[in-house]
Amino acid sequence: MCGPKDPKARGTKLEAASHPARLLLPSPPLSVTLATRHHRSASDPTVPSRPTSLSRAAARRGREDEELPFLQALHAKPARFLFPSLKAYELPSSTTLLTTALLLFLLFASQLILIPRLAPYFRQPIQPPLFCPAPVSNPFLQQLYCRAPDHRVGTLYGSSQNSMALAAAAERVAAEFEYSAQDVNRGVQEFMREMDEGLGKQGATMSQIPTYVTAVPNGTEKGLYMAVDLGGTNFRVCSIQLHGNSTFSLTQSKVKIPQELMVAKTSKELFAFLAKQIETFLKTHHNDHYVNHVEKRRRKGSLFEGTHDEEVFHLGFTFSFPVQQSGINKGTLIRWTKGFDIKDTIGKDVCALLQKEIDALDLPVKVAALVNDTVGTLMARSYTSPGKTGTLLGAIFGTGTNGAYVEKLARVTKLKKVGAGKQDVDDSTGEMIINTEWGSFDNHLSVLPNTPYDKSLDAESNNPGIQMFEKRVSGMFLGEILRRALVGLIKDPSVPLFSDEHSNQNDVHSTTNIHDNSPLWSQWALDTSFLSIASADNTAGLKNTRQTLDSDYGVSAPSAEDAEAVRLIASAVGKRAARLSAVAIAAVILSTGKLQHPTDIATTNNATLEVNEDEVVDVGVDGSLVEFYPNFEEFIREALREVEGIGKEGERRVRIGIAKDGSGVGAALIALVADRAMRASSSPNASSAAAGAGGLAGFFTQFLSDLNRNLRVRV
Ligand code: BGC
């Protein structure tokens, strides 16, 4: 590890090279000379490790007494060597020259070849600070302190009794979120068991929903396709223009879902709103097409009569809620999640609901595919990921959480039980994308952690006992968990949180005070983004955290100690969420055996990778948590290393990549698949042509290469 990477050694070599006369010395050999000089400068506190020319001269003068006689001679007669005769340069022996050349060559080779190759082996995903004065003995807390950004941990607490009481209380609450390596492993085992159960029967805790995505587009289609995305706070509409030569372009718009529609009395209210947005989008971005269609319809008197198929938009509907899918554009809602709650939608076909409202507006749009956002993420990631290995898993860690992965069709035994026949399932690929709906993993709480904050959050939610994994992992809930933990401390008279105990450290106002209308008192009012702000805060005295508490959360003039306590608990909540996320990822990797057979799914790209690309297990992720929460991926990786069957070796081979906006792009891509499948099924040789050979590997290879790489996004 010394050599070229050691700055002292580098300094020494440079110095030697800038004094060629020293190469004239007959003995000792160069390597010994360098080692001697290195040793001297390192042991002499007056000589800096990277000496400047001035300090070098001073140091040289100071050292002359102790130097060997021939070095003293050199220093005494600098002129002779500063202007040496040509003859003097001819003096080095061939051994010296050879040694120098060899050293230079080795230096060069190590820079060019060895270092880039070895780098990944030395690289640690997490770089804890070198000095970490963690004041606690619990490793979970210690890590939270040590991973905190540049900030001397514990320094914000004072030495008064109140300060120590606050520190102790914060540590006690943070420790409640500990999720040990043993917990992770138990979680993985149970997750794998529930995955198997869900593949075998309907109504299992984890739904394991078959998606029916199996057909292959050939890239020659022309026309406009659309995708809409309903899954959280926003509704997105986009259109994809196929140019017929495997290129396409994408246009999209976004609108916030009004809160009252999320809990509307009837499905109609929500779906009519969605259809209206589609109409607005068409008028804004495809007005000619829209006007032509409406005029034609008026002339003919019916929506589709006389309309050529290519004049109708085929729409991919990303609907990111648990749906029992029974065909590529058919599926009934199992339950609402993420704050939506419209009773009469349960059990209804959501594609039909949307189509009805689209038809009511006479729009030239056919709902052609029903897509979960995780499936879209998987498709989009597989399309963009480097290397020839296909993506195994698409996962969302955002407002909600869920994953979709590539499963062997033979393992989806419940397909037969629900009577899905050859006409519904194209088995020629031997694989199918499964939407796990892992948000409901372990609803019965056999392995999930269950703090008092988790319990009360669930009890007061609109779906108690449901989505228990999601309620501990996703952005919709983490802010609320933190809020409950903080309120618990605020209400405890023995804990001086936000108590004005430290007002001398406040630089905003003088008195710490929680306003009556502070969002801290309201359910769901603490946004998960606050966890990111606090966990990432490296400002002096945690000023960012204090200012956010003051401006957004009605806590005027919180002290630095308050912020220190808040940050520790926020980091603990976030870290537990990341470690739970690792449980899901690890279980999918282990249950599919992809560490043993990573190349089952192929794509055509061939970018360079740090590990042998044949060994990569690719995971596409999206969502605000994984994108913005500090160290989320690193915490996941740390937990993956602790999983039996994955370990350090396996974790290194897991590649996690963001598939930004995968749900929108993916849905548009699946709309193409669906359109092609529909056309194929109406042609005589349809079914055999649809899938092509080569498993889902072939599916992705052909599908993705056919679509070519020409995505242009306009917002
Ligand atoms: C839904 C899933 C969705 C996930 C991420 C969950 O609440 O049940 O269908 O994929 O959120 O958006």
Q: What's the mean pLDDT when you consider all of the chain?
A: 75
CA nearest neighbour of 432 among 442, 420, 443: 420
Closest Cα to atom 3, ligand 1: which residue? 320
Residues forming a β-bridge with 366 = 314
Is the distance from the beta carbon of residue 402 to the nearest atom of ligand 1 less than 6 Å? yes
Ligand 1 proximity of 231 Cβ (cutoff 6 Å): yes
Q: Tens of pLDDT along 46-103?
A: 333 333 333 333 344 444 344 444 334 334 333 333 333 334 445 567 777 788 888 8
CB of 396 within 6 A of ligand 1: the answer is yes
> What pTM did the predictor assign?
0.72
Give the pLDDT band (50/70/90) at residue 43: very low
pLDDT digits (tens, 9 = 90+) for 276-333: 999 999 999 988 888 887 777 766 655 445 455 557 888 999 999 999 888 888 999 9
Mutation to probe ligand 1, out of 373, 375, 472 (largest number of atoms < 8 A from CB): 373
Does the beta carbon of 374 sit less than 6 angstroms from any atom of ligand 1?
yes
Cα–ligand 1 centroid distance for 437 (angstroms): 7
Q: How many CB atoms lie within 10 A of CB 506?
A: 20
Is any ligand 1 atom within 6 A of the Cβ of residue 400?
Answer: yes
Ligand 1 pocket test: pick from 325, 337, 375 the residue with the most ligand atoms within 8 Å of its Cβ.
337
How distant, in Å, are the alpha carbons of 44, 178, 270, 350 from that of 344? Answer: 81, 40, 11, 11
| Residue 440 CA to ligand 1 centre (angstroms) | 10
Q: How many whole angstroms from 618 Cα to the centroid of ligand 1?
A: 21
Q: What pLDDT score was predicted for residue 680? A: 65
Split at pLDDT 50, 70, 90, the class of 640 is: very high
pLDDT in the model for residue 239: 84
Which token pair is 107?
């230096």
* Centre of ligand 1 from the C-alpha of residue 321, in Å: 5
Query: Could you read off the pLDDT of 153-176 as tens digits, one per residue?
Result: 555 677 778 888 999 999 999 999
* Region of poorest pLDDT, from 128-132, 284-288, 430-434: 128-132
| Least confident stretch, 71-85, 450-464, 588-602 | 71-85
Residue 80 pLDDT: 35
Q: How far apart are the C-alpha atoms of 514 and 500, rounded to whole Å?
A: 10
Residue found by looking up tokens 């022996």 in the block: 93
Tokens of 18: 């800038």
Q: How far is ligand 1, taken at its centre, from the CA of residue 51, in Å?
A: 59
Q: Report the separation in Å between the CA atom of 483 and the middle of ligand 1, taken as the mean of its atom positions.
A: 23
d(CA 284, CA 715): 12
Considering Cα of 643, then 647, then 648, then 652, what sign does the dihedral take? negative
CA 45 to chain centroid: 46
Probe residue for ligand 1, chosen from 206, 334, 396, 471 as the CB with the greatest number of ligand atoms within 8 Å: 396
Q: What is the rounded average pLDDT of the residues 90-117?
A: 71
Cα(254)–Cα(250) distance, integer angstroms = 13
Q: Is the CB of 437 under 6 A from ligand 1?
A: yes
Please work out whether the CB of residue 338 comes within 6 Å of at least one atom of ligand 1: yes
Report residue 360's pLDDT band, with 50, 70 and 90 as the boundaries.
Answer: very high
Query: Which residue minimizes the CA distance to atom 12 of ligand 1?
Result: 400
DSSP codes of every residue in 107-119: HHHIIIIIHHHHH
Give the distance (Å) from ligand 1 centre to CA of residue 436.
10
Q: Are strands 248-256 and 711-714 parallel, antiparallel or unpaired?
A: parallel
Of the two residues 527 and 56, the one the predictor is more confident about is 527
Average pLDDT over residues 116-138: 53
- 234 C-alpha to center of ligand 1: Å? 14
Q: Which of 30-39, 74-83, 143-152 has the highest mean pLDDT?
A: 143-152
Bigger pLDDT: 488 vs 662: 488
Contacts of 53 (CB under 8 A, 6+ apart): none
C-beta 322 within 6 A of ligand 1? yes
Q: Could you tell which of 320, 436, 474 is best to mutate to test the pocket of ligand 1, judged by most ligand atoms within 8 Å of the CB?
A: 320
The residues with which 402 forms a beta bridge, in sequence order, are: 396
Q: Does any ligand 1 atom lie closer than 6 A to the CB of residue 321?
A: yes
Phi, psi of 264 (to 5 degrees): -65, 165
Q: Render pLDDT for 170-219 as a digit per residue (tens, 0 to 9).
A: 999 999 999 999 999 999 999 999 999 999 998 999 999 998 876 434 44
For ligand 1, the distance from its centroid to the CA atom of residue 621, given in whole angstroms, is: 13
659: pLDDT strictly greater than 50: yes
- The response to whether residue 320 sits with its C-beta less than 6 Å from ligand 1 reads yes
383-407 confidence digits (pLDDT tens): 666 655 678 899 999 999 999 999 9
Looking at the DSSP assignment, which residues form a beta bridge with residue 313? 365
Instruction: Using most ligand atoms within 8 A of CB, pick from 233, 319, 321 the residue to mutate for ligand 1.
Output: 321
State yes or no: pLDDT of 345 exceeds 60. yes
326 lines ligand 1 (CB under 6 A): no
* Cβ contacts of 544-548, under 8 Å, gap ≥ 24: 546/506, 546/508, 547/508
Is-contact 144 566, C-beta < 8 A?
no
Q: Which residue has the CA at smallest separation from atom 9 of ligand 1?
A: 321
Q: Token pair 């630095």 is at which residue?
A: 560
54 versus 254: the higher-pLDDT residue is 254
**Rounded Cα distance, 60 and 370, in Å:** 77
Q: How far does residue 374's CA lie from ligand 1's centre (Å)?
A: 8
* Separation CA 440–CA 470 (nearest Å): 7
Is the pLDDT confidence value at 629 over 50? yes
d(CA 145, CA 132): 8
Site to substitute for ligand 1 among 341, 393, 401, most atoms within 8 A of C-beta: 401
Grade residue 661 by pLDDT with cuts at 50, 70 and 90: low
Identify the residue with better confidence: 203 or 39: 203
600 in contact with ligand 1, CB cutoff 6 A: no
Q: What is the pLDDT of residues 601-627, one digit of tens each?
A: 433 233 334 456 668 899 999 999 999
> What is the per-residue pLDDT for 676?
67
Closest CA to ligand 1's atom 11:
400
% of the chain beyond a pLDDT of 90 = 45
Establish whether the linkage from the previous residue to 84 is cis, with ω within 30° of 0. Answer: no
